Chains A and B, each alone.
Chain A
Amino acid sequence: MDTTDHFMLAAIALLLALALALFRAWHGPRAIDHVMAAQLVATSGVGVALTLGAARDDASMLDAALVATVLASVAILAFVRERRSTGRKPRETQP
């Protein structure tokens, strides 16, 4: 088993972790759970792109991972904008 195989194994592990996030994307139950699942998928996707780039020895896949990193945060910001928070507020902490 050479280095390439190790990286592919890591990519598969990350892909399976990503698949687990789909459970939350399906079930929720709160709206924020769906959106956080999308965030987790995007983050894992960046990981898969990085490991794939290492396995193929292709530096340009790191650029693709960078693009995914910048644009993944847009969705959650768009979601939290103009939304009454339905969850409990964090408890006030004494300074």
Chain B
Amino acid sequence: MTLAFDMILCLMIVGTAAAALLMRNALAAIVFFIVLGNLLGLAWLAMDAVNVAMAEIAIGAGVTGVLLILTRQRLMALGDDLVSAEMPGWLRTGALVACAGFAALIGSAVLSVAPADDLGGSIAALMPGLGIENPVTGVLLAFRAYDTLLEAFVLLGALVAVWSLAPRGAWPQRPAALALAENGGHGVAAAFGRLLLPLALVMAAYLVWAGSDLPGGAFQAGTVLAGGLIIAAIGGAVSWPRADDRYLRVALVLGPAVFLIIGLAGIAQGRFLFYPPGFEKALIVAIEYSLALSIGVTLALQVAGPPVAPDHEG
């Protein structure tokens, strides 16, 4: 029974990926990309990798899909007909060869990992010292905390890059409003945004807390928070702050800053990112809550785009 499920899912994933690549209609291609994200999430679930499944569903299908849909709208508003130019044959063939080579490289890398390689076992042996039970959180926040710290800064750097695209004169205004342009349906969207933002907040808080012992964590929670913020912004329940807003700046740097300060405090104990014994879980949860807030706000503002001059709303 499980085999049949896996086979059908694999076929659908390959078919959906092909459709997303080959569709001429930009909207249909975006839709297939969102479907692909959802199916990949199900595939991770089928492999019992619930942490990855959550991240894929939230980021791959959720926020990236919204980003693509909004990009399409903005391109159409600029008069782009969304038809890609014909590519010369050598470029197509070259792209095909490059992508196939890359896929083969990844495939060989994955297959070179021996199934008996007991990485999970060696991590499980280290976990009792941390006071948390989710090995993925253990790897992200303790054993490879350096990577996660850098990722948090990369996300912040990406927002700085988006902001630096702001036209002259727009800085430091607000990003373009996402609110519905039409009046019809505005009430529905506004009520939905007001309903969903608190729900998303509760869920993000829950996901971080659950992430210590169960699948979940700061990135998943931050994405849920970003989704709630985007929905509330489309409904007009919240409006984007100015880019120089003091509270906004604090929310953006809180996660990376708390992470960095706790990491630097570890130097006093011996080395960078060292958690003093007995305080591991408290520090990890503190880092994760502040990271989730910063990730949520950063992702929402990346979707919102660079600041625009007040007379160019929309």
Contacts and interface: CB of A to CB of B under 8 A. Distances in A.
Sort chain A's interface into a size bin: 35 or more
A60 B181 contact: no
A52 B224 CA distance: 22
Interface string A36-70: 01100110010011001100101111011011101
Interface residues of B, number: 68
A31 to B, nearest CB: 5
Interface in B34-53: 34-35, 38-39, 41-42, 45-46, 48, 50, 53
Given A68-B57, A68-B61, A81-B234, A28 B25 contact: yes
Given A63-B214, A73-B192, A81 B180 contact: yes
Nearest to A82: B181
B220 interface: yes
Contacts of A67: 54, 57-58, 62, 203, 207, 220, 223-224
B124 interface: no
Tell me the interface secondary structure of chain B in the complex: helix
Tell me the interface secondary structure of chain A in the complex: helix
Contact of A64 (B34, B50, B231): B50
A48 B28 contact: no
Contacts of A79: 69
27 contacts: A11-B5, A12-B4, A15-B5, A15-B8, A25-B32, A26-B23, A26-B28, A34-B25, A34-B27, A34-B31, A42-B34, A45-B39, A48-B45, A58-B48, A60-B215, A63-B215, A66-B203, A67-B54, A68-B38, A71-B62, A75-B66, A78-B178, A79-B69, A80-B185, A81-B179, A81-B234, A84-B182
B48 A56 contact: yes
A25 to B, nearest CB: 5
A75 B68 CA distance: 9
